[in-house]
């Protein structure tokens, strides 16, 4: 019984983090049609920066205030420079989509190797509420619960941002139809840059959370990108509730499988998505 | 059909064939260093040519080259003590062919972005499976690979370059190649005129995977020791894309030029600045996409066309540089 509780609780915790990462990726793809395979590198850079800062004496929660705006600004600048130019020179949407993806592949190599150059391959970690408590017979470290709480706060805040604010409305309009939104007076370029920046910000938030308990290395980027991509395909490309649902599912399945053998998680994820694509190519909540 | 010889178009094939024949004599006077370097260049030529053979005309971007090369590595790793090199290459190729056919059959029915995602994840998946196999089943990290000698590896690579060139040229002229181009231009139109699009795409993808698997098998014999991390490496997925983008994805010479340039660059920079050169390569990729979408060959053709147009003062059509 306590094993099941353990799997569920840890699954939900990881699911929250995966949902956060995947939300950023699906936002960047859904609105800007940029499949950003460098997404996990934002997470890696933020996780490593936050660990370094905390080691230097900063409070872990305060490192959000540094990593998140930094990731937003970097994403924003990348979008208004290279992606805006690419959009201008591309002859149609399909060309833009494949070239944007290739460019993010280049970006992945730049960011990943910057991380490796700065931090090497050793892992970084710090102690923050790392003592265990008992919940329903399962033993959970307190910092994992903090991670879950913060992840939920970010997910809820993001939904409020998307549904209640003016920028959120313009983001949703742009994701439905770029041309129609432009005719209605939405500033498309700015909206797309904000989306890309917000995507980076969400990845960075997940990065700080991962830094709290999971001792990241400078190589965590790629595996998180892969997970985020799988989650996004599972939930439906461009669907933000789908990203959260897919994240939860992948988190739970991952914990259940890693109870048997942790190195088979990737196989389970991949098989799950392959089967889903055969049955329902749009993804769980895809349009 | 009578084949008409077109000097301007066919001179590139003749030049490439001459270079390949010239390379056959390199072991007679070259040092071991030259041989290893040229084997590496030839490996990348095969990889980028076979990548561009499928992804160039169809526009379906594959990021799985690392998985296929890695499978070739492991084919050599498992069998090098018992089988000769050509058999290893065949096994590596066939395993890659089979994997590509399976992945392709599922994802190539969907929009291109799914294909890209799955191929991107495939490298990590195969790496995870191999790591699991080594930790749980054989309980030994990595494999030793028999070395067949520098000359043998060199000639094997050369043969693969020749085969790949022939395959690429033959496919380009054939109905199959035209079907691939048609799919890239408009998939709906292609299926309306009777092309079985999914089957064509899967077969094209699998052939390119086969070629990558074979050179992977040869490459592993040059390395003595392989492990999942070095075999299923994103680098092997990234470099062919970079080489083709830089050289010109839809041209014949582009991937060859790109492969030669970046293989030499990588070979000379990898020891001196291991991370910085990757950062530079990433930046080159972004700049190449932004400022020379048709690659270096496209730039060359545009310049030539401009000079010609200037001479004839006619200002002919612009479609020659497409």
Q: Are strands A132-135 and A138-141 parallel, antiparallel or unpaired?
A: antiparallel
Q: Could you tell me the CA-to-CA distances from B205 to A61, B155, B172, B193, B209 in Å, in that order?
A: 48, 26, 14, 21, 6
Residues 6+ apart with CB under 8 A from B213: B68, B69, B71, B72, B75, B89, B92, B93, B94, B95, B96, B97
Instruction: Count CB-CB contacts under 10 A for residue A61.
Output: 13
- pLDDT bin (cut points 50, 70, 90) of residue B317 is very low
Q: What is the pLDDT of residue A134?
A: 84
Quote the pTM value: 0.90
Cβ–Cβ gap A102/B283 under 8 Å: no
All residues of chain B having their beta carbon less than 8 Å from the beta carbon of residue A261 are 132, 136
All residues of chain B having their beta carbon less than 8 Å from the beta carbon of residue A101 are 61, 113, 116
Look at residues B45, B99, B117 and name the one whose alpha carbon lies nearest to residue B210: B99
Name the A residues in 245-284 with CB < 8 Å from any B CB.
261, 263-267, 270, 273-274, 277-278, 281
Residue B316 clears pLDDT 50, i.e. is over it: no
Q: Which residues pair with A141 in a beta bridge?
A: A132
- pLDDT bin (cut points 50, 70, 90) of residue B3 is low
Range of the domain at A196: 2-279
Residue B163 clears pLDDT 90, i.e. is over it: yes
Q: What does the pLDDT look like over B102-113, one tens digit per residue?
A: 999 988 888 888
Q: Could you tell me the CA-to-CA distances from B278 to A44, A104, B211, B212 in Å, in that order?
A: 17, 14, 25, 22
Question: Minimum mean pLDDT among A122-131, A236-245, B67-76, B254-263: which range?
Answer: A122-131
Q: What is the pLDDT of residue A85?
A: 93
Q: What is the pLDDT of residue B261?
A: 92
All residues of chain A having their beta carbon less than 8 Å from the beta carbon of residue B125 are 266-267, 270
Cβ–Cβ gap B289/A110 under 8 Å: no
The better pLDDT of the pair B30, B212 is held by: B212
DSSP code at position A135: E
Strand (E) or helix (H) holding B110: none
Max Cα–Cα distance, chain A, nearest Å: 60
Determine the Cα–Cα distance for residues A11 and B131; give it in Å rounded to an integer: 23
Q: What is the pLDDT of residue B312?
A: 62
Residue B321 clears pLDDT 80, i.e. is over it: no
Determine the Cα–Cα distance for residues B208 and B52; give it in Å rounded to an integer: 9
Check if B289 contacts A (Cβ < 8 Å): yes
Provide the percentage of residues in chain B whose pLDDT is more than 90: 48
Residues 6+ apart with CB under 8 A from B264: B37, B41
Look at residues B295, B260, B301 and name the one whose alpha carbon lies nearest to residue B42: B260
Residue from A105, A222, A274 whose CB has the most chain B CBs within 10 Å, to mutate: A105
The pLDDT of B268-285, averaged and rounded, is 88
Residue B322 clears pLDDT 60, i.e. is over it: no
Check if B241 contacts A (Cβ < 8 Å): yes
Q: What does the pLDDT look like over A190-209, one tens digit per residue?
A: 999 999 999 999 999 999 99
Low-confidence ranges of chain A (pLDDT < 50): none
Name the A residues in 193-212 with CB < 8 Å from any B CB.
none
CB nearest B61 (choices: A89, A102, A229): A102
Q: Is residue A105 part of a domain?
A: yes
Check if A228 contacts B (Cβ < 8 Å): no
Q: Is residue A199 part of a domain?
A: yes
Residue of B nearest to A35 (CA): B113
The better pLDDT of the pair A244, B31 is held by: A244
Q: Please give the ipTM for the structure prediction.
A: 0.89
- pLDDT bin (cut points 50, 70, 90) of residue B2 is low
Residue B320 clears pLDDT 60, i.e. is over it: no
Size of interface A-B (CB pairs under 8 A): 120
Q: What is the tally of structural domains in chain A?
A: 1
Q: What does the pLDDT look like over B126-141, one tens digit per residue?
A: 998 998 888 888 888 8
Between the two ends of chain B, the Cα-to-Cα distance in Å is: 26
Q: What is the pLDDT of residue B62?
A: 92
| Spatial contact of B244 and B261, defined as CB atoms under 8 Å apart | no
A226-245 as b/e: b if 16+ CB within 10 A: bbbbbbbbbbbbbbbbbbbb
Q: Is residue A284 part of a domain?
A: no
What are the φ/ψ torsions at residue A49 (nearest 5 degrees)?
-60, -45
CA A6-A11-A13 angle, to 5 degrees, is 100
Q: Is residue A285 part of a domain?
A: no
| Spatial contact of A265 and A257, defined as CB atoms under 8 Å apart | yes
Q: What is the pLDDT of residue B4?
A: 64
| Spatial contact of A148 and A76, defined as CB atoms under 8 Å apart | no
Strand (E) or helix (H) holding A140: strand A138-141
Max Cα–Cα distance, chain B, nearest Å: 72
Residue B218 clears pLDDT 90, i.e. is over it: yes
Check if A108 contacts B (Cβ < 8 Å): yes
Q: Are strands B143-144 and B225-226 parallel, antiparallel or unpaired?
A: antiparallel
Q: Which residues pair with A138 in a beta bridge?
A: A135
Residues 6+ apart with CB under 8 A from A187: A170
Residues 6+ apart with CB under 8 A from A179: none
Check if A233 contacts B (Cβ < 8 Å): yes
């Amino acid at each position: 019984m306590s094993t099941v509780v353990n799997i569920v609780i840890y699954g939900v915790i990881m699911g929250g983090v995966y949902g956060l990462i995947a939300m950023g990726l699906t936002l960047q793809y859904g609105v800007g049609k940029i499949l950003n395979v460098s997404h996990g590198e934002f997470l890696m850079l933020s996780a490593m920066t936050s660990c370094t800062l905390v080691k230097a004496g900063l409070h872990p929660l305060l490192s959000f205030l540094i990593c998140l705006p930094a990731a937003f600004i970097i994403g924003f600048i990348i979008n208004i420079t290279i992606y805006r130019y690419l959009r201008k020179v591309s002859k149609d949407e399909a060309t833009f989509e494949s070239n944007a993806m290739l460019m993010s592949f280049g970006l992945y190599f730049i960011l990943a190797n910057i991380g490796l150059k700065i931090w090497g391959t050793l892992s970084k970690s710090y102690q923050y509420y790392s003592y265990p408590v008992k919940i329903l017979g399962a033993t959970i470290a307190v910092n994992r619960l903090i991670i879950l709480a913060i992840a939920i706060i970010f997910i809820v805040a993001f939904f409020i941002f998307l549904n209640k604010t003016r920028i959120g409305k313009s983001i949703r309009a742009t994701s439905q139809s770029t041309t129609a939104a432009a005719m209605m007076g939405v500033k498309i370029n700015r909206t797309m840059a904000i989306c890309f920046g917000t995507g980076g910000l969400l990845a960075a938030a997940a990065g700080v959370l991962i830094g709290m308990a999971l001792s990241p290395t400078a190589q965590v980027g790629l595996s998180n990108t892969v997970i985020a991509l799988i989650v996004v395909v599972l939930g439906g490309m461009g669907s933000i509730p789908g990203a959260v649902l897919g994240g939860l599912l992948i988190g739970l399945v991952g914990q259940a499988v890693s109870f048997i053998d942790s190195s088979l998680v990737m196989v389970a994820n991949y098989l799950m998505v392959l089967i889903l694509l055969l049955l329902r190519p749009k993804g769980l909540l895809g349009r | 059909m009578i084949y008409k010889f077109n000097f301007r178009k066919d001179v590139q094939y003749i030049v490439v064939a001459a270079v390949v024949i010239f390379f056959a004599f390199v072991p007679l006077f070259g040092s071991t260093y030259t041989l290893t370097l040229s084997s590496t260049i030839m490996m990348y030529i095969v990889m980028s040519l076979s990548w561009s053979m499928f992804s160039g005309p169809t526009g379906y971007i594959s990021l799985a080259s690392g998985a296929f090369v890695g499978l070739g590595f492991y084919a050599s790793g498992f069998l090098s003590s018992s089988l000769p090199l050509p058999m290893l290459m065949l096994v590596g190729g066939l395993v890659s062919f089979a994997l590509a056919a399976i992945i392709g059959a599922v994802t190539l029915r969907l929009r291109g972005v799914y294909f890209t995602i799955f191929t991107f994840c495939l490298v990590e998946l195969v790496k995870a499976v191999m790591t699991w196999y080594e930790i749980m089943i054989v309980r030994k990290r990595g494999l030793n690979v028999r070395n067949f000698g520098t000359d043998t590896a060199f000639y094997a690579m050369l043969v693969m370059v020749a085969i790949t060139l022939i395959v690429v040229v033959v496919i380009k002229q054939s109905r199959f190649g035209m079907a691939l181009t048609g799919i890239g231009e408009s998939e709906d139109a292609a299926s309306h005129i009777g092309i079985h699009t999914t089957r064509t795409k899967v077969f094209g993808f699998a052939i390119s995977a086969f070629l990558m698997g074979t050179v992977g098998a040869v490459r592993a014999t040059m390395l003595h020791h392989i492990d999942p991390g070095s075999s299923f490496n994103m680098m092997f997925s990234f470099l062919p894309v970079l080489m083709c983008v830089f050289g010109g994805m839809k041209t014949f010479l582009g991937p060859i030029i790109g492969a030669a340039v970046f293989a030499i660059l990588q070979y000379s920079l990898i020891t001196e600045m291991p991370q910085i050169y990757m950062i530079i390569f990433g930046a080159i990729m972004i700049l190449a996409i932004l400022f020379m979408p048709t690659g270096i060959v496209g730039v060359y053709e545009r310049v030539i066309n401009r000079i010609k147009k200037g001479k004839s003062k006619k200002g002919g059509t612009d479609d020659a540089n497409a």
